[in-house]
Amino acid sequence: MLRAGRLVAFPTETVYGLGANAADAAAVARIFALKGRPADHPVIVHLDNPRYLHRWVREIPPAAERLAARFWPGPLTLILPKAAEVDEVVTGGQDSVGVRVPSHPVAQQLLTAFGGGIAAPSANRYGRLSPTRAEHVREEFGDAAPFVLDGGESPIGLESTIVACLDGTARLLRPGQITRSQLTEVVGELAEAGDAPRAPGDRSVHYAPLTPVELVALDELEARAGEFAARGEKVAVLAMRAPLRARRLMTWINAGRKAESYAHDLYSNLRALDRAGCVRILVQTPPQEERWTAVNDRLLRACGLGGCPHDPEAD
């Protein structure tokens, strides 16, 4: 199907991707059409082995070599200078390209069998919640859903960390499971954002359910939920503990206080609350600690408040 220019959704360790032959510009354009993705928003090329990087990038800076050696295969995307033959539909018209070597065994088997690069943003409508299960992809696209390769639930549940290695610098463009501290252990201090290239997930509104999302401090959470219930409006809550008391019009999910499991379940929990028919999803503000940086980034974007990929203080 990939060789015929068709789209295939497949699992990675982060989220499910919507894949096309990265060397087929018409096929990649079909990703944009199905997702409703802006043409200037680049996609990530997935490879099964770093030895194929030369087909997609014109040079591999030393910082990128060190990061790839440490974190690939894994949840790291590197933005590198693109090779001349890489079509601008993949890069969003930029002179750089995002590449990743995923560790998920099904993704690895697919990439090896295909024998080339697969361009694959997350398998969802543009700006919406990323899918972490095969059924999420089918729910997202309905009758327009592509072929879905079911590899079970994505182990991480949040998108990859993105680092740009351009002009002799390394910049963190999107936080993920790999933290700033882990990156600096490998390449030293990261440069400030500066004139960073456009990257997947960098819009101020992204990763959003259809129901409006609002971040609320723990000590205000139940009172805020009560305001909706008092007006006869259904409200959903994503918290890190159980409610002090149940309310008739309140749907409450206790996601716990462990950063890794909270991140793994975040999109599934938001999808469940989005289906609850509520007027608002209230989310308890997570801790402002490095291990929560990626979760905080996704929640800020879900609220339409932008993210925190460039903010060292947030990390």
Tens digit of each residue's pLDDT (9 = 90 or more) over 245-267:
888 899 999 999 999 999 999 99
Q: What's the mean pLDDT when you consider all of the chain?
A: 93
Q: Is residue 2 part of a domain?
A: no
Residue 180 tokens, joined? 């700033």
User: What's the pLDDT tens digit per position in 71-115?
Assistant: 999 999 999 999 999 999 999 999 999 999 999 999 999 999 999
Amino acid 207: pLDDT = 85
Q: Is residue 192 part of a domain?
A: no
Mean pLDDT of 202-207: 67
CB-side exposure of 292: number of CA atoms within 13 Å?
17
Statement to judge: residues 53 and 138 lie in one domain: yes
Task: State yes or no: pLDDT of 313 exceeds 50.
Answer: no
**Of 31, 5, 9, 7, whose CA–CA distance to 151 is shortest?**
9
- Among 152, 187, 222, the domain boundary falls at 187
**Domain CATH for 242:** 3.40.50.11030
Statement to judge: residues 119 and 237 lie in one domain: no
User: pTM of whole model > 0.85?
Assistant: yes
**Domain CATH for 35:** 3.90.870.10
Q: Is residue 161 part of a domain?
A: yes
User: What's the pLDDT tens digit per position in 16-74?
Assistant: 999 999 999 999 999 999 999 999 999 999 999 999 999 999 999 999 999 999 999 99
Statement to judge: residues 139 and 62 lie in one domain: yes
State how far Cα 42 lies from the chain centre: 13
Statement to judge: residues 304 and 250 lie in one domain: yes
Task: State yes or no: pLDDT of 284 exceeds 70.
Answer: yes
For residues 103 and 11, the answer to whether their CB atoms sit within 8 Å is no
Amino acid 315: pLDDT = 29
Statement to judge: residues 151 and 33 lie in one domain: yes
Statement to judge: residues 51 and 151 lie in one domain: yes
Statement to judge: residues 147 and 293 lie in one domain: no
Q: Is residue 205 part of a domain?
A: no
User: What is the domain extent for residue 136?
Assistant: 8-187
Statement to judge: residues 170 and 36 lie in one domain: yes
Q: Is residue 89 part of a domain?
A: yes
Q: Is residue 285 part of a domain?
A: yes
Sequence-distant (6+) residues with CB within 8 A of 233 are 249, 278, 279, 280
Statement to judge: residues 21 and 155 lie in one domain: yes
Residue 182 tokens, joined? 């882990």
Amino acid 304: pLDDT = 87
Residue 109 tokens, joined? 């088997």
* CB neighbour burial string for 65-88, b if at least 16 within 10 angstroms, e if fewer: ebbbeebbbbbbbbbbbbeeebbe
Residue 283 tokens, joined? 């989310």
Statement to judge: residues 54 and 169 lie in one domain: yes
Amino acid 24: pLDDT = 98
- Among 172, 187, 202, the domain boundary falls at 187
% pLDDT > 90, the chain: 88
**Per residue, what are the HEC states of the chain?**
CCCCCCCEEEECCCCEEEEEECCCHHHHHHHHHHHCCCCCCCCEEECCCHHHHHHCECCCCHHHHHHHHHHCCCCEEEEEEECCCCCHHHHCCCCEEEEECCCCHHHHHHHHHHCCCEECCECCCCCECCCCCHHHHHHHHHHHCCEECCCCCCCCCCCCEEEEEECCEEEEEECCCCCHHHHHHHHCCCCCCCCCCCCCCCCCCCCECCCCEEEECHHHHHHHHHHHHHCCCCEEEEECCCCCCCCCCEEEEECCCCHHHHHHHHHHHHHHHHCCCCCEEEEECCCCCHHHHHHHHHHHHHCCCCCCCCCHHHC
% pLDDT > 70, the chain: 93
Task: State yes or no: pLDDT of 194 exceeds 70.
Answer: no
d(CA 147, CA 245): 44
Distances in Å between the alpha carbon of 220 and those of 142, 181, 226, 282, 284? 38, 32, 10, 10, 9
Q: Is residue 309 part of a domain?
A: yes
Statement to judge: residues 159 and 22 lie in one domain: yes
- Among 171, 187, 203, the domain boundary falls at 187
Number of domains in the chain: 2
Statement to judge: residues 143 and 279 lie in one domain: no
What φ, ψ does residue 281 adopt, rounded to 5°? -110, 115
Q: Is residue 197 part of a domain?
A: no
